[in-house]
Amino acid sequence: MRSKVVVGFIGAGYAASIHARAYQKVYGVEVELRAVTASRPERAAAFAEQFGVRRVAADVADLLADPAINLVDICAPNHLHADLAVDALNQGKHVIVEKPLTGYFGDQTESASGDANGRHDMVRVALATATRIAETARANGVRLLYGENWLYAPAIQKVRQLMAASGGTILRIQGEESHSGSHAAYAQHWRTAGGGSLLGKGCHPLAAALYLKHEEGLQRDGRPIRPRTVVAEVGHLTRNPAFVAERRKYIQDGWHDVEDWGTMLVTFEDRSIAQVTASDAVLGGIRNCLTVYGSRAVAEANLNPNTTCVAYAPSDDSFANEYISEKIETKAGWSFPSADEEHAQGYSHEIQDFVEAVADDREPVSGAPLACEVVLVTYAAYLSAAEGRRVDLDQFRTAIPAVGDVRKGR
């Protein structure tokens, strides 16, 4: 008999809403949305009202004190993830942490910016934090569920299946997430975001690339194929003087100490490559795509845009309030509206997997090892870009949990 899953939300914003809608569509497991807490109580109240959550908790401690809650869903800013997760895990709750798991946030003063710090420390601190979360889960016998929706997107899963069916070798993976920039203030500061485009957006295609190489190795040899080195470059495209001088801006600027573009070139132990790009300086709506070049097949996942639905409007106001796609600057002209975004982006399958993982006491598809490896590669990439050199990942890897280890426990 499957356990009932009783959910407590920490945070009541955009990510929490997506999760809440997904919980409502879970099948085969009984789910109760029990409590929510948020820094602004009125927002928590509205959220509870909208999604039928039973009560608003006074604060995190109040929420964690509820013994019925067995799954805590953390949808808070990046720099709060680690402490919240560790507290919840120590209370014996299973925990969902939204991407990225954690990172380096300096000493939390204005001046402790990403620019100013030695990146070597940054990698070690970020990894230590990630490892602390994973170890806490393990020590308490509960699950860390890593909120990486790309792994669950039907198109990414189809790509994985196609590559597996081909029986070939994945030689190269190219992925990107980009759009015209977050308006959220906390995303512009390293001390709250932990990084810029590379962390906030690049974590998606990076996670998918790591996952695909893990799965390839597990399927063929029983052990995941691991990344070995990273070379990266980051940029501040919105500091281009010609752009700065433009009067009307369609792209978000004002990034304090975080990059608005970055690329990581990751070399795996088998010589295969992942090219991961992320940018906050791309017009035309969100771009979420991944291409896998194999020795016996090519497979491409276009989360956005794709041609499932194609539309045209002669004027910007033609479609009124109808949603087109994330961050598109105009509704005029041709566009590629998202027909069922939460499904296509993987949120439905992610929450279904998390709920089943809790109910059946098993590892999720997206768990601690992947979450930690994303932190490793991304901060090593920051180090690479800061020092202008290729970075070997093995030197940092000792502490983080390995995919193979966890799999054995399945």
List the interface residues with a copy of itself, window 281-300 (CB under 8 A): 281-284, 293-300
Q: Would you count residue 231 as binding a copy of itself (CB under 8 A)?
A: yes
CA-to-CA distance for 76 and 296, rounded, in angstroms? Answer: 42
Q: Which stretch binds a copy of itself (CB under 8 A): 53-61, 198-206, 243-251, 371-379?
A: 243-251
Q: Which stretch binds a copy of itself (CB under 8 A): 21-29, 129-137, 189-197, 399-407?
A: 21-29
Q: Would you count residue 113 as binding a copy of itself (CB under 8 A)?
A: no
Quick one: 361 or 392, whose CB is closer to a copy of itself? Answer: 392
Q: Would you count residue 223 as binding a copy of itself (CB under 8 A)?
A: no
Quick one: 113 or 169, whose CB is closer to a copy of itself? Answer: 169
Q: Would you count residue 277 as binding a copy of itself (CB under 8 A)?
A: yes
Print the binding letters for residues 162-191 with a copy of itself: x by CB under 8 A, - otherwise: x-xxxxxx-xx-x-----------------
- The CB-side HSE value for 270 (13 A sphere, CA atoms) comes to 17
CA-to-CA distance for 270 and 285, rounded, in angstroms? Answer: 35
Quick one: 145 or 328, whose CB is closer to a copy of itself? Answer: 328
On whether the CB atoms of residues 252 and 280 are closer than 8 A, the answer is yes
Residue 74: beta bridge partners? 10, 97
Cis peptide before 41 (omega within 30 of 0): no
Quick one: 183 or 271, whose CB is closer to a copy of itself? Answer: 271
**Could you give the strand order of the β-sheet that contains 31-37, starting from the edge strand earlier in sequence?**
55-56, 31-37, 5-10, 71-74, 94-98, 144-147
The count of residues interacting with a copy of itself (CB under 8 A) is 97
φ, ψ for residue 105, nearest 5 deg:
-125, 20
Quick one: 133 or 153, whose CB is closer to a copy of itself? Answer: 153
Tokens of 341: 């975004």
Q: Would you count residue 332 as binding a copy of itself (CB under 8 A)?
A: yes
Of 80, 128, 309, 399, the one binding a copy of itself by CB under 8 A = 309
C-beta atoms surrounding 242 within 10 Å: 6
Tokens of 263: 């690329």
